[in-house]
């Protein structure tokens, strides 16, 4: 939110008070506290009638500092708080006439006692700072107050309170993250409202707003507020990232990396690491699509068609109309088209399939489920006290489950438990964004602050049930909405994209921003959700989708089976499903790393190569794990323009070696795209192409790409439960390949820079 009109003038609506002096500094447990009056105090008398902003810095973990700033300390907004796990570390505090310093690990915060400013520093340099008119208390739309006996006598509460903080940007500093945002990958110049809404993929609105950003200067910032945090990213003041929150207090965590990998590791240590999705979830998912006309016969026909064309399928998804229209969600199968759901699911399980069904937290009126929930007080209530808050937006007269009520959570889980007992394996937890603010919550939470936080409670409720019933290693969701902490409940998908190349590109931008926000597993609707893609777009999207973390064929009003486009699409689908299955030993090892450290599976180039300036803005290619570069094709000419960082890269499809540090252009058919393996990569490639879950140790072979003389190459091979079962390490010395950690007798296929593949035995 903008509180100024240009750099010098404040908005007349703002009534801003800015910290102007570090008047008093004291050491507190694990940190320091600053009393900052809004005007410089020269004499004792200046302390009268003087508002102050109190500021605290505390070490939340090594290299992580929590910042709290407040005006009125007893003001309670009753806002829900993100779940966090702080790990306070040893700190040092020092103070002299010029500055006070708090150190936590490699990062320190310096408070200038002569001229108001505080700065974060590491490695002998200032990372960012907050100074003149950068930390403020805003009395927005303040009404006139009087000391005379009028109605507005001492009406200090007659305004909207906000806290604002601005952190400086250096020349060339780029800002990334803030959730799954489909705008430009680099956020400089954007105004970002972290307010979840169902806005599709082609607007500034986001399904997954995360109040976290990082920059290429080696630090990240998480605003610790579930409410809307309004970010002005070099947009109000071009030298700063400003963020403001309603209320009398502002909290944020400052993370020093310096690498993106380390920043994400620290962020997810605080807000939660992702669960490890089951290996089968990495295979191809096929959906009924949304409003298409389908029943059991249609579904069986899809499965037969995939089997006849030898396209491996892992999960089948039933979208909304597994239930009757006007009755979502009553959790009852529509017996008119699915007369025997238990028997049907058993038959599909015998095909080796897992089953997913669509749900949301909205309950339509006119159903026994609605009546039960309303009578028991499990639905959100109107703020005026006139019963359940209902709307016709999406479902007729629907109410929303109040997940702040523990009994409502158990009730909701009970409905889902019946489906799991019937044979369902996982859920698509759709929606969770359209959460009204004219409501009363069971636990008394602030309605505005609950708008975004609702999705955390919703997805946690469903995920915890899956862990209980299916087991920790079998639980997986397909979720659309998210807030900070939701990375614990994978997988998330990108929402309602359109069937076009621009939408495919914006989808990737959203996924890359999401990765820079602490989320490891992400998917999207192959071919686009809205409309029907030309066969050309569909086939290019197949390659992109099957080289993503998770892969789903899903649409709105038309089917997404490959033969609905053309028969070549079937060949393309088969080709890339086989490829993904072969990559599973590597992908699942990367998934284990994500589970252990929070590192995303699909990584922006700047994440993996932060020191390469050419990678700073790239948003049409990505790293799949640490060793594989993917550049999807976004045009009907089949032309790809991509960048290879420094080093040698081996083309997966053609074996060609290319030197990094430059851009390339190539034209690809539908069965290829720029897919390059980083030099000195020891890659486990599976021998299995028809399923994603198999014995990765026994059914894989080792390939060494562009070995670097005297450098160790390491490969970790997991089992399907996420345990690392074998670690192999080799080193090339001259023409000899030495095992530094491997069983003797292992065969390694060495892909040389000359394009030849040599078989070598350790």
Residues marked as catalytic: 430, 433, 496
Q: Which of 494, 439, 487 lies closest to 463 in space, CA to CA?
A: 487
- Which H or E element spans position 453? helix 447-470
- Cα–Cα dist 149/145, whole Å: 11
Place of tokens 């089917």: 559
- Cα–Cα dist 455/429, whole Å: 9
Cross-sheet strand order for the sheet of 160-168: 16-18, 135-140, 160-168, 240-246, 230-233, 190-193
Q: Which residues contact 599 (CB under 8 A, 6 or more apart)?
A: 261, 264, 265, 520, 590, 593
Question: Two tokens at 321?
Answer: 């109309």
695 three-class SS: coil
- Which H or E element spans position 702? strand 700-705
Question: Two tokens at 32?
Answer: 């320091």
Evaluated on CA atoms 470, 476, 479, 482, the torsion sign reads positive
Q: 709 — phi, psi (to 5°)?
A: -55, 125
Q: Which of 482, 490, 484, 431 lies closest to 466 in space, CA to CA?
A: 490
Pairing verdict, β 662-667 and 639-644: antiparallel
Question: Two tokens at 157?
Answer: 């509460």
Helix, strand and coil percent figures for the chain, each rounded to 5: 20, 30, 45
- Cα–Cα dist 292/529, whole Å: 12
- Cα–Cα dist 396/325, whole Å: 10
Beta bridge partners of 125: 122
Q: Which of 91, 113, 85, 117 lies closest to 100 in space, CA to CA?
A: 113
- Cα–Cα dist 388/378, whole Å: 9
Question: Two tokens at 207?
Answer: 């399904």
Evaluated on CA atoms 80, 246, 518, 490, the torsion sign reads positive
Burial 561-587 (b: 16+ CB within 10 A, else e): bbbbbeeebbbbbbbbbbbbbbbbbbb
85 CB-side CA count, 13 A: 10
- Cα–Cα dist 419/325, whole Å: 19
Beta bridge partners of 221: 213, 254
Q: Which of 225, 243, 244 lies closest to 234 in space, CA to CA?
A: 243
Question: Two tokens at 210?
Answer: 């995360």
Q: Which of 529, 85, 94 lies closest to 292 in space, CA to CA?
A: 529
- Cα–Cα dist 567/305, whole Å: 11
- Cα–Cα dist 334/358, whole Å: 13
Beta bridge partners of 318: 357
What one-character-per-residue DSSP string does 161-214 give? Answer: EEEEEEEE--TT--EEEEES--S-SS-TTEEEE--B----SSSS-BSBEEEEEE
Q: CB burial class (10 A; 0-12, 13-18, 19+) of residue 386?
A: exposed
What one-character-per-residue DSSP string does 118-135 give? Answer: EEEEETTEEEEEE-TTTE
Pairing verdict, β 249-256 and 399-400: unpaired
Q: Which of 600, 598, 747, 625 lies closest to 267 in space, CA to CA?
A: 598
Q: Which residues contact 422 (CB under 8 A, 6 or more apart)?
A: 341, 342, 345
């Amino acid at each position: 939110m903008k509180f100024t009109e240009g750099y010098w003038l404040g908005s007349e609506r703002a009534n801003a008070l800015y910290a102007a002096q570090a008047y008093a500094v004291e050491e507190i447990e694990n940190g320091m506290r600053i009393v900052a009056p809004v005007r410089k105090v020269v004499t004792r008398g200046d302390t009268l009638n003087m508002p102050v902003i109190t500021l605290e810095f505390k070490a939340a973990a090594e290299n992580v500092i929590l910042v709290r700033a407040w005006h009125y300390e007893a003001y309670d907004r009753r806002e829900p708080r993100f779940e966090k796990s702080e790990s306070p570390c040893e700190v040092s505090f020092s103070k002299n006439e010029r500055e006070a310093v708090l150190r936590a690990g490699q990062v320190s915060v310096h408070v200038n006692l002569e001229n108001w400013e505080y700065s974060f520093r590491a490695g002998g340099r200032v990372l960012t700072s907050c100074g003149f008119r950068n930390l403020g208390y805003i009395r927005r739309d303040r009404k006139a107050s009087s000391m005379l006996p009028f109605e507005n006598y001492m009406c200090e509460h007659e305004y909207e309170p906000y806290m604002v903080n601005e952190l400086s940007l250096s020349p060339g500093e780029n800002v990334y993250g803030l959730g799954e945002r489909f705008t430009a990958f680099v956020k400089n110049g954007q105004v970002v409202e972290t307010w979840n809404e169902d806005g599709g993929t082609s607007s500034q609105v986001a399904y997954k707003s995360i109040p976290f950003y990082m920059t290429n200067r080696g630090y990240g910032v998480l605003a610790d507020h579930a409410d809307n945090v309004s970010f002005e990213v070099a947009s109000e003041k071009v030298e700063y990232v400003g963020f403001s929150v309603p209320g009398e207090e502002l909290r944020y965590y400052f993370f020093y990396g310096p690498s993106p990998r380390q920043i994400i590791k620290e962020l997810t240590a605080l807000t939660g690491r992702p669960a490890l999705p089951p290996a089968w979830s990495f295979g191809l998912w096929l959906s009924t699509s949304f409003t298409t006309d389908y029943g059991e016969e249609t579904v069986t026909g899809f499965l037969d068609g995939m089997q006849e064309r030898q396209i491996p399928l892992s999960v089948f998804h039933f979208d909304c109309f597994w239930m009757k229209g006007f009755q979502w969600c009553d959790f009852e199968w529509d017996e008119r088209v699915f007369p025997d759901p238990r028997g049907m699911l058993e038959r599909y399980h015998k095909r080796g399939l897992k089953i997913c069904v669509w749900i949301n937290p909205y309950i339509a009126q006119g159903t026994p489920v609605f009546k039960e929930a309303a009578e028991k007080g499990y639905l959100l209530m109107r703020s005026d006290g006139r019963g359940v808050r209902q709307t016709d937006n999406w479902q007729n007269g629907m109410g929303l489950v109040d997940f702040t009520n523990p009994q409502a959570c158990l009730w909701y889980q009970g409905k889902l438990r019946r489906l799991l007992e019937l044979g369902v394996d996982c859920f698509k937890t759709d929606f969770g964004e359209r959460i009204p603010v004219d409501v009363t919550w069971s636990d008394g939470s602030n309605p505005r602050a609950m708008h975004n936080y609702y999705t955390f409670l919703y997805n946690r409720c469903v995920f915890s049930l899956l862990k209980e019933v299916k087991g920790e290693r079998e639980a997986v969701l397909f979720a659309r909405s998210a807030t900070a902490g939701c990375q614990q409940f994978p997988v998330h998908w990108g929402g309602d994209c359109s069937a076009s190349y621009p939408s495919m590109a914006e989808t990737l931008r959203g996924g890359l921003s999401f990765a820079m926000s602490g989320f490891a597993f992400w998917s999207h609707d192959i071919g686009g959700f809205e409309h029907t893609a030309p066969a050309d777009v569909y086939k290019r999207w197949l390659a992109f989708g099957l080289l993503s973390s998770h892969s789903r064929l899903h649409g709105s009003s038309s089917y997404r089976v490959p033969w609905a486009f053309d028969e070549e699409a079937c060949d393309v689908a088969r080709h890339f499903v086989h490829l993904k299955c072969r990559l599973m030993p590597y992908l699942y090892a990367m998934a284990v790393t994500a589970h252990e450290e929070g590192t995303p599976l699909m990584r922006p180039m700047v994440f993996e190569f932060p020191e390469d300036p050419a990678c700073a803005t790239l948003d049409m290619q990505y790293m799949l794990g640490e060793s594989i570069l993917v550049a999807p094709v976004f045009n009907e000419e089949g032309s790809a323009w991509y960048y290879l960082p420094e080093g040698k890269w081996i083309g997966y499809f053609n074996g060609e070696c290319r030197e990094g540090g430059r851009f390339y252009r190539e034209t690809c058919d539908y069965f290829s795209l720029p897919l390059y393996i980083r030099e000195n990569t020891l890659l486990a490639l599976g021998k299995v192409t028809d399923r994603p879950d198999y014995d990765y140790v026994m059914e894989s072979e080792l390939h060494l790409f562009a070995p670097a003389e005297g450098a160790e190459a390491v490969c970790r091979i997991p089992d399907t439960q996420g345990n690392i079962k074998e670690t192999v390490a080799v080193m090339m010395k001259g023409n000899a390949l030495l095992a530094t950690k491997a069983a003797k007798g292992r065969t390694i296929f060495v892909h040389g820079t000359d394009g030849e593949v040599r078989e070598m035995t350790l």
